[in-house]
């Protein structure tokens, strides 16, 4: 039996550890579903609506940390994936979306149910590309999968039905996927600059987000060292609040008074692993250091500091660091710095945060 593009697609997904594909079958997806049947190593989880399938894939990716997959047929089929893919992408869940497409010979003719998925999914993916011939299939698939895993988010391949059913040489080029993100060791000067900023501040407060998901112990250790209260965002709650004697709850639209007061009464506010969106709740008097990973943001002159593994941020900030001398209460020794060398982040400080005009308690 001929080896098709769809057969190779399923084989590569199985090798990457994908166990199931969520979606709704359709004519342009027939080569893919037939390849699933022949492969026997993966399951097709039929859902009532493609949106549900995309949400299910995103949930699986978040629970397992592994690559998950969903699929939709041409036109409205793959278009229905978009809500779930936005959620997965914003949640940094590695998901591969298979958007099947109309016959390649009909693209651009106003064919029945014709859309342009390679444009539609650009905003909710790290990588989205149309596979127009068999020769580009292997490389495009590999880039899409690696983008989803390496950057944390969605990769999309747009696969016309006739291309999915086209013959392909059985033995393709072997390709490996890197599923773990690298650890970046920041420079000594960057570590020293933030250490000096902390040392020169009498009262330090922490506000932690989902970027601290693998750094609970480090957050608590830092809070203990500087005797600082620890607030958290809604998405950071599961990773920061438990077994944390320094926790003071959330701030923002659904926050509490303790966290609000803590970040307003400090001299230095450290935003760890969060692109906190409620800037009206941020203080204007303290210095603010934002520590995060900017995957595709517009910030310039960013210095890296390996304190917390923040996922991503699209905010455009003007970067500046104001350092001053003072009595060192926290030795910036190798042992102290080693706490912060486990993951990758970027240090951004804001000069003029927007003022919070009213307390959340005044809104009750």
**Average pLDDT per block of 10 residues along the chain, 364 residues long:** 87 94 94 93 95 97 94 95 96 95 92 94 96 92 94 95 88 72 71 88 93 91 94 92 94 87 93 86 88 50 28 27 30 34 35 33 28
Residue 153 tokens, joined: 């988010």
Measured CA to CA, the distance from residue 139 to residue 154 in angstroms comes to 17
Name the percent of the chain in helix, strand, coil, to the closest 5.
Answer: 35, 15, 45
What CA–CA distance (Å, rounded) separates 358 from 217? 34
In this chain, the answer to whether the domains covering 5-164 and 188-363 adopt an identical fold is yes
Domain boundaries, the chain: 5-164, 188-363
Q: Which CATH class is domain 5-164?
A: alpha beta
Contact 282, 266 (CB under 8 A): no
Distance separating alpha carbons of residues 329 and 326, to the nearest angstrom:
9
**Contact between residue 97 and residue 58 where contact means Cβ atoms under 8 Å apart:** no
Please state, as a whole number, how many other Cβ atoms lie within 10 Å of the Cβ of residue 114: 15
Residue 63 confidence (pLDDT): 92
Provide the pLDDT for residue 168.
Answer: 85
CATH code for 188-363?
3.40.50.1220
- The DSSP output letter for 42 is S
Residue 261, token pair as written in the block: 């007061």
When computed from its CA atoms, the radius of gyration of the chain, rounded to whole angstroms, is 24
E strands present in the chain? 20-23, 43-46, 68-72, 95-101, 127-130, 154-160, 204-208, 230-232, 247-250, 268-272, 287-292, 303-304, 346-350
What pTM was computed for the model? 0.74
Distance CA 218, CA 102 (A): 51
Give the β-pairing of 303-304 and 287-292.
unpaired
Whole-number Cα distances in Å, 116 to 83, 108, 110, 246, 249: 17, 9, 11, 50, 44
Residue 256's nearest CA partner among 284, 237, 277 is: 237
Identify which of 249, 253, 254 has the alpha carbon closest to the alpha carbon of residue 230.
Answer: 249
Other residues' Cβ atoms within 10 Å of the Cβ of residue 248: 24
Rounded Cα distance between 330 and 169, Å, is 62
For 108, residues 6+ apart whose C-beta sits below 8 A from its C-beta are none
CA distance 152 to 214: 14
User: With left for phi above 0 and alpha for psi between -120 and 50, is residue 351 left, alpha or beta?
Assistant: alpha
Q: How far, in Å, CA of 235 to CA of 274, rounded?
A: 9
Please count the CA atoms within 13 angstroms of the CA of 202 that sit on its side-chain side: 1
Is the dihedral angle over the CA atoms 83, 86, 276, 226 positive or is it negative? positive
């Amino acid at each position: 039996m001929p080896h098709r593009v769809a057969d190779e697609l399923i084989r590569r997904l199985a090798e990457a550890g994908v166990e199931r594909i969520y979606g709704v079958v359709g004519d342009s997806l027939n080569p893919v579903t037939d390849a699933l049947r022949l492969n026997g190593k993966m399951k097709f989880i039929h859902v009532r609506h493609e949106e549900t399938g995309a949400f299910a894939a995103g949930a699986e990716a978040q629970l397992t940390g592994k690559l998950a997959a969903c699929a939709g047929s041409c036109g409205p089929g793959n278009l229905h994936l978009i809500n779930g893919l936005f959620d997965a992408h914003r949640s940094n869940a590695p998901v591969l979306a298979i958007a099947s497409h109309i016959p390649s010979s009909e693209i651009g003719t106003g064919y029945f149910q014709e859309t342009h998925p390679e444009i539609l999914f650009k905003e909710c993916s790290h990588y989205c590309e149309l596979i127009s011939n068999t020769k580009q299939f292997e490389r495009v698939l590999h880039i899409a999968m690696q983008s989803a895993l390496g950057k944390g988010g969605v990769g999309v391949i747009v696969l016309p039905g006739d291309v999915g059913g086209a013959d392909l040489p059985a033995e393709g080029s072997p390709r490996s996927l890197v599923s773990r993100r690298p650890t970046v060791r920041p420079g000594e000067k960057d570590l020293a600059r933030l250490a000096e900023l902390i040392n020169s501040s009498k009262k330090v407060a922490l506000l932690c987000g989902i970027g601290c998901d693998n750094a609970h112990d480090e957050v608590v250790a830092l809070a203990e060292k500087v005797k600082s209260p620890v607030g958290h965002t809604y998405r950071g709650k599961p990773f920061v609040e438990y077994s944390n004697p320094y926790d003071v709850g959330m701030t923002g639209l659904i926050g509490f008074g303790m966290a609000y007061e803590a970040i307003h009464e400090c001299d230095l506010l450290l935003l760890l692993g969060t692109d906190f969106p409620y800037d009206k709740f941020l203080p204007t008097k303290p210095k603010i250091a934002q520590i995060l990973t900017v995957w595709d943001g517009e910030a310039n002159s960013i210095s890296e500091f390996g304190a917390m593994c923040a996922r991503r941020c699209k905010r455009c900030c003007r970067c500046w660091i104001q350092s001053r001398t003072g009595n060192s209460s926290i030795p910036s020794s190798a042992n102290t710095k080693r706490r912060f060398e486990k993951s990758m982040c970027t240090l951004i400080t804001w000069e003029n945060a927007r003022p919070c005009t009213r307390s959340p308690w005044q809104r009750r």
